[in-house]
């Protein structure tokens, strides 16, 4: 029989999964009752885990950061790890457009947002260095450029359907790969 702590962690994950799905379909301002219904928990359980909408969205953002951390770790010392992570980011935008839009729209100086952004920069420091050293990326690529890259990938949010967003994200990745390589020898 699972422990109380394991049950609570599973319930919390269940609520986050439900919120991700509901926000993806209806936007981050969707009624929280839809999250309660989809998670099949009581309203008190939702609020015990997440006192308000902001806490719920911040937990989803932190979960995204944790996914990036796991992906970076699983890719190890691969020279192309940066590109795999960018593809994962693009897929996340396709799967959860409302959360991605929230991430882009919220005040970047809010403490949780700034902390998440800085954590991502730190996570990608080594993959960027390896890609540059391997000649896969332009030598002037910096960790802070990830915010610009994320914004470019965010153009996929213009797609009205998941398929349209996926096509736009794929195209953005194609264009970004070329841009990240930098100009060919002799080009300026």
| Region for 41 from its dihedrals, namely left if φ exceeds 0, alpha if ψ lies in -120 to 50, beta otherwise | beta
Q: Which two tokens stand for residue 151?
A: 């914004």
Examine the domain organization and report whether 91 and 158 are in the same domain.
yes
Distances 61 to 40, 93, 174 between C-alpha atoms, Å: 22, 12, 26
Looking at the structure, tell me whether residues 103 and 172 fall in a common domain: yes
Low-confidence ranges of the chain (pLDDT < 70): 1-4, 101, 104-105, 184-188
Q: How many helices (H) and strands (E) does the chain have?
A: 9, 0
Task: Report residue 87 CA to chain centroid gap.
Answer: 11
Please answer whether residues 127 and 85 qualify as being in contact, where contact means their C-beta atoms are separated by less than 8 angstroms.
Answer: yes
- Same domain membership, residue 86 and residue 12: no
Domain harbouring 67, CATH code: 1.10.357.10
Question: Which letter does DSSP use for residue 188 in this model?
Answer: -
Residue 85 lies in domain: 53-181
What predicted TM-score, i.e. pTM, was given to this entire model? Answer: 0.83
pLDDT of residue 4: 62
Q: What is the number of domains present in the chain?
A: 2
């Amino acid at each position: 029989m699972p422990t109380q702590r394991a049950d609570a962690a599973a319930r919390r994950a269940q609520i986050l999964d439900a919120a991700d799905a509901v926000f993806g379909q209806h936007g981050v301002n969707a009624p929280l009752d839809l999250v309660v219904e989809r998670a099949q928990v009581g309203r008190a359980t939702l609020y015990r885990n997440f006192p308000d909408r902001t806490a719920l969205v911040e937990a989803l953002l932190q979960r995204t950061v944790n996914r990036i951390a796991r992906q970076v770790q699983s890719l190890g010392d691969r020279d192309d790890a940066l590109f795999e992570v960018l593809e994962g980011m693009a897929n996340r935008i396709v799967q959860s457009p409302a959360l991605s839009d929230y991430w882009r729209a919220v005040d970047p100086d809010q403490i949780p947002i700034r902390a998440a952004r800085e954590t991502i920069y730190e996570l990608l420091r080594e993959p960027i260095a390896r890609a540059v050293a391997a000649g896969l990326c332009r030598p002037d690529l910096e960790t802070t450029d990830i915010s610009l890259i994320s914004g470019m990938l965010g153009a996929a949010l213009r797609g009205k359907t998941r398929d349209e967003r996926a096509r736009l994200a794929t195209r953005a990745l194609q264009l970004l790969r070329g841009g990240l390589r930098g100009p060919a020898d002799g080009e300026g």
